[in-house]
Chains A and B, each alone.
Chain A
Amino acid sequence: MNESKEIHVGVFVCHCGVNIGGVVDVPEVVEYAKTLPNVKYAEGSLYTCSSEGLSKIKEAIKKYQLNRVVVASCTPRTHEPLFRSACEEAGLNKYLFHMANIREHCSWVHPKEPKKATEKAKEMVRMAVAKASLLEPQAEPEIDVLPSALVIGGGVAGMTAALSLANQKFTVHLVEKESELGGKLRELYKLYPSDHYASEILEEFLQAVRSNANIIVYTSSTVKHSEGFIGNFKVTINHEGKEETLDVGTIIVATGADVLKPQGMYCYGQSKNIVTQLELEQLMKEKKLERPKNVVMIQCVGAREGKEGGRNYCSRICCTVAVKNALQIKELFPETEVSIVYRDMQTYGKDFEEQYNKAREGFTQFIRYDVENPPEVFIRPNGKLIVRVHDILIDGTLELDSDLVVLSTPLIQREDAKELSKILKVPLGSDGFFFEAHVKLRPVDFATDGIFVCGTAHSPKTIAESVAQAYAAASRAGIPMTLGRVRTEAITAFINEDSCTGCGTCINLCPYNAIQKDERGVAKVNDVLCKGCGVCAASCPEKAINMRHFSDAQVLAEATAALGET
Chain B
Amino acid sequence: MSNAVLVIGGGIAGIQASLDLANRGTKVYLVEELPSIGGRMAQLDKTFPTMDCSICILAPKMIECFRHPNISLLTYSEVTEVKRDAGNFTVKILKKPRYVDVEKCTGCGTCMEKCPAKVPNEFDIGLGSRKAIYMPFKQAVPLIATIDPEHCLYFTKNVCRVCQKLCPSNAVNFEQKPEEIVVNVSSIILATGFDLFNPSIMSEYGYSRYKNTLLSMELERLISASGPTGGHLVRPSDGKEPKRIVFVQCVGSRSQRGELPYCSSVCCVYATKESILIKEHLPDIEVYILYLDLRAIGKGFQEFVDRAKKEYGVKYIKAHPGGITEDPITKNLQIYYEDIPTGEMKKFTADMVVLCPALIPKQDNKKIAQVMDLELDEYGFFKSKNELTAPVDTNVPGIYICGYCQGPKDIPESIAQASGAAARAAERIMCVTREAGS
Q: Which residues of B contact A313 (CB under 8 A)?
A: 299-303
Chain A residues 450 to 474 lying within 8 A of chain B, measured CB to CB, are: 458-459, 463-465, 467-474
- How far apart are the CA atoms of A46 and B140 in the complex, in Å? 13
Given contacts A50-B107, A471-B419, contact A464 B387 (CB under 8 A): yes
Partner of A85, one of B67, B226, B294: B67
Q: Is there an interface contact between B412 and A443, defined as CB atoms closer than 8 Å?
A: yes
Interface assignment of A381: CB less than 8 Å from any CB of chain B: no
Q: Are B302 and A472 in contact (CB under 8 A)?
A: no
Complex Cα gap A55–B108 (Å):
12
B23 at the interface (CB under 8 A from A): yes
Please measure, in the bound complex, the distance between the C-alpha atom of A475 and the C-alpha atom of B381, giving whole angstroms.
24
Q: In the assembled complex, which residues on chain A have CB atoms less than 8 Å from the CB atom of B50? A: 439-440
Binds B, one of A17-25, A216-224, A256-264: A17-25
A164 — which chain B residues lie within 8 A by C-beta? 423-424, 427
Task: Name the residue in A85, A345, A475 with the highest tally of chain B Cβ atoms < 10 Å from its Cβ.
Answer: A475
Query: In the complex, which of the residues A46, A348, A392, A444 contacts B263, with contact meaning CB atoms closer than 8 Å?
Result: A348
| Interface pick from B88-96, B235-243, B340-348 | B340-348
Q: Is B408 a contact partner of A475 (Cβ separation < 8 A)? A: no
| Residues 93-116 of A contacting B (Cβ, < 8 Å) | none
Partner of B57, one of A167, A441, A470, A473: A441
Give every chain A residue within 8 A of B138 (Cβ-Cβ).
17, 46-47, 50
Known: A353-B261, A469-B420. A476 touches B141 (CB 8 A): no
A495 at the interface (CB under 8 A from B): no
Contact assessment for A167 and B59 in the assembled complex, using a CB-CB cutoff below 8 Å: no
Contact A393 B340 (CB under 8 A): yes
| Residue pair A344, B293 in contact (C-beta under 8 Å) | yes
The reply to whether B423 and A169 contact each other, CB–CB distance below 8 Å, is no
Contacts of B63 in A (CB 8 A): 49-51, 54, 82
Q: Which of A350, A395, A440 meets B262, CB within 8 Å?
A: A350
Residues facing A in B375-398 (CB within 8 A) are 377, 379, 381, 384, 386-392
| A180 shortest CB reach to chain B, Å | 19
Question: CA A483 – CA B295 in complex, angstroms?
Answer: 41
Instruction: Decide if B388 touches A476 in the complex (CB within 8 Å).
Output: no
CB distance from B171 to the nearest CB of A (A): 13
**Chain A proximity mask over B312-328: 1 for CB below 8 Å, otherwise 0:** 00000010000000000
Q: Are B301 and A314 in contact (CB under 8 A)?
A: yes
Residues in A whose Cβ lies below 8 Å from that of B23: 479, 483
Chain B CB within 8 A of A204 CB: yes
A22 to B142, CA, bound (A): 25
Q: Are A78 and B56 in contact (CB under 8 A)?
A: yes
Looking at the assembled complex, report how far the CB atom of A359 sits from the nearest CB atom of chain B, in whole angstroms.
Answer: 14
Most buried by B among A354, A370, A482: A482
Contact of B257 with A by CB under 8 A:
no
- Of A17, A74, A169, which one neighbours B225 at CB under 8 angstroms? A17
Residues of B within 8 A of A465 (CB): 391, 413, 416
- Check A194 against B415 for contact (C-beta < 8 Å): no
Does A41 have its Cβ within 8 Å of any Cβ on chain B? no
- Specify which chain A residues have a CB less than 8 angstroms from the CB of B434 in the assembled complex: 169
Given A395-B342, A440-B57, A467:B389 Cβ within 8 A: yes
- Binary contact track A483-497/B, C-beta < 8 Å → 1, others 0: 100000000000000
A540 to B424: give the CA distance in the assembly, Å. Answer: 50
A433 & B295 in contact (Cβ 8 Å cutoff): no
Interface assignment of B275: CB less than 8 Å from any CB of chain A: no
Q: Kindly list chain B residues whose C-beta atoms are within 8 Å of the C-beta of A463.
A: 388-389
- Does A167 contact B413, Cβ atoms closer than 8 Å? no
B156-197 vs A: 1/0 string, CB under 8 Å?
000000000000000000000000000000000000000000
Q: Which residue of A lies closest to B409 (CB)?
A: A349
B271 within 8 A of A: no
Contact B60 A476 (CB under 8 A): no
CB-defined contacts of A306 to chain B, threshold 8 Å: 306
Q: Which of A429, A443, A459 has the most CB of B within 10 A?
A: A443
Instruction: For the complex formed, measure the closest distance between the CB of B113 and the CB atoms of chain A, giving whole angstroms.
Output: 13
Are B106 and A52 interface neighbours, CB within 8 A?
yes
Task: Say if the beta carbon of A291 comes within 8 Å of chain B.
Answer: no
Distance to closest chain B CB from A508 (angstroms) = 36
A186 within 8 A of B: no
Interface residue? B426 (CB, 8 A): yes
Beta-carbon contact of A439 and B341 below 8 Å: no
How far does the alpha carbon of A49 sit from the alpha carbon of B64 in the complex, in Å?
A: 11
Q: Does B66 belong to the interface (CB within 8 Å)?
A: yes
Chain A residues with CB below 8 A from B59, complex form: 49, 78
Decide if B342 touches A350 in the complex (CB within 8 Å). Answer: no
CB distance from A303 to the nearest CB of B (A): 8
Check if A182 is an interface residue, CB within 8 A of chain B.
no
- Asked if B139 is an interface residue, CB under 8 A from chain A, the answer is yes
Question: Is B52 interfacial (CB 8 A cutoff)?
Answer: yes
The answer, among B107, B300, B388, B407, for a CB contact under 8 Å with A196, is B388
Q: Give Cα A168–Cα B420 distance, bound, in whole angstroms.
A: 13
A201 at the interface (CB under 8 A from B): yes
For B141, list chain A residues within 8 Å (CB): 50-51
Contacts of A395 in B (CB 8 A): 341-343
Smallest CB gap from A18: residue in B:
B225
Contact of B265 among A168, A349, A482 (CB under 8 A): A349
Check if A270 is an interface residue, CB within 8 A of chain B.
no
Separation of A470 and B20 alpha carbons in the complex (Å): 14
Interchain CB contact (< 8 A) of B415 among A357, A393, A443: A443
B407 to chain A, nearest CB (A): 5
Q: Are B299 and A459 in contact (CB-based, < 8 A)? A: yes
Among A47, A357, A429, the most chain B Cβ lie within 10 Å of the Cβ of A47
Report if A206 contacts B (CB, 8 A): no
B411 at the interface (CB under 8 A from A): yes
Question: Quick check: is B422 within 8 A (CB to CB) of the other chain?
Answer: yes
Q: Are A471 and B303 in contact (CB under 8 A)?
A: no
Most interface-central of A54, A471, A483 (chain B CB within 10 A): A471
How does the 8 Å CB contact mask read for B250-283 relative to A, with 1 for contact and 0 for none?
Answer: 0000101000011101000000000000000000
Q: Does A362 contact B (CB under 8 A)?
A: no
Q: List 27 A-B contacts (CB under 8 A).
A: A49-B60, A50-B107, A78-B56, A82-B64, A85-B67, A164-B424, A194-B386, A194-B388, A204-B389, A205-B389, A304-B302, A316-B297, A349-B408, A350-B262, A353-B263, A392-B341, A429-B299, A438-B57, A439-B49, A440-B412, A441-B412, A443-B416, A471-B420, A472-B417, A472-B418, A476-B20, A478-B426
Beyond A464-B389, A475-B423, list 9 extra A-B contacts (CB 8 Å).
Answer: A79-B60, A169-B430, A306-B306, A348-B295, A441-B61, A443-B413, A464-B387, A467-B391, A483-B23
Q: Closest 5 A-B residue pairs measured CB to CB?
A: A471-B420, A472-B419, A350-B262, A475-B423, A344-B293
